[in-house]
Amino acid sequence: MTWVLANFGQIWRLTLDHIALSVPPILLGFLIAVPLGWIAHRYAPFRGAILTLGGLLYTIPGIALFLSLPVILGTRILDPINVVVGMTIYAVALLVRTAADAFDAVSGDVRQSSVAIGYGPVRRFFEVELPLAGPVLLSGLRVVSASTVSLVTIGSLIGVSSLGYFFLNGLNRRFPTEIFTGIVGVIVIAVVFDLLLVLIGRLLLPWAHVARQRERRGRGAAA
């Protein structure tokens, strides 16, 4: 505990670095995966290609991806941008399937009703399909958020600053407290992000929460 207090400045700095590396992949992943998922849902010929590519990209081990990106992007090998791009690729790979499933799950009747009362494609997407796909997209985003926050630590192996630094430094110094601090820090960030996402979900998708409560109550009554 004394170590934590004495090094609070460094812990805080690395926490901020960690957040700075985690947030862009989560946001970019969402912004890229939603349109791709919609295309996979809407245009059957692209579906197999998009989802298969996502699955294959997701298979590449993280450290291998971080090391390969400089070759493809022409960035320096120790550039933090490699970690951000790599994590974004994972986020897209993971979310695109969720997004396709989420749009698939929007009832065809509802979609047709919106066409019948005169919704154009753009308005239909933003006002009907996207909100109805929202709860599933949110659940996918929560998975992506947790795995991104945890995976960013791998970047420390190639010298990208994050809470993962405490793992390597703690190992070198044979100092478990430091490693513990890193692990706890990562989990705290993951939990805070998760709570934020749930909160955003409550604000943007209030009906999803109500529906779930009603279902739970219904199940309780049946039992």
Distances in Å between the Cα of 62 and the Cα atoms of 116, 162, 184 are: 47, 15, 22
What distance in Å separates the CA atoms of residue 142 and residue 219, rounded to the nearest whole number? 25
> What are the CA-CA distances from residue 60 to residues 16, 86, 98, 172, 196 (Å)?
27, 10, 19, 28, 29
Indicate the residue type of 178. Answer: E
DSSP 8-state secondary structure symbol assigned to residue 78:
T
Choose the stretch contacting other proteins; rule: CB under 8 A; options: 9-17, 24-32, 93-101, 115-123: 93-101
* Dihedral angle over CA of 153, 157, 161, 162, nearest 10: 10
Q: Site map for other proteins, 105-144, x if CB under 8 A? A: x-xx--------------------------xx--xx-xx-
- Stretch of 4-12, 23-31, 69-77, 112-120 lying at the interface with other proteins (CB under 8 A): 69-77
How far separated are the first and last CA of the chain, in Å rounded?
A: 48
168 binds other proteins (CB under 8 A): yes
CA distance 183 to 175: 13
Q: State the minimum distance, in angstroms, from the CB of residue 61 to other proteins.
A: 4
User: Does 52 participate in binding other proteins (rule CB under 8 A)?
Assistant: yes
**160 makes contact with other proteins (CB under 8 A):** no
Site residues (vs other proteins, CB under 8 A): 41, 44, 47-48, 51-52, 54-56, 58-65, 67-68, 70-71, 77, 90, 94-95, 97-98, 101-102, 104-105, 107-108, 135-136, 139-140, 142-143, 146-147, 149-151, 153-154, 156-158, 163-164, 166-168, 170-171, 174, 176, 179-180, 182-183, 186-187, 190-191, 212, 215
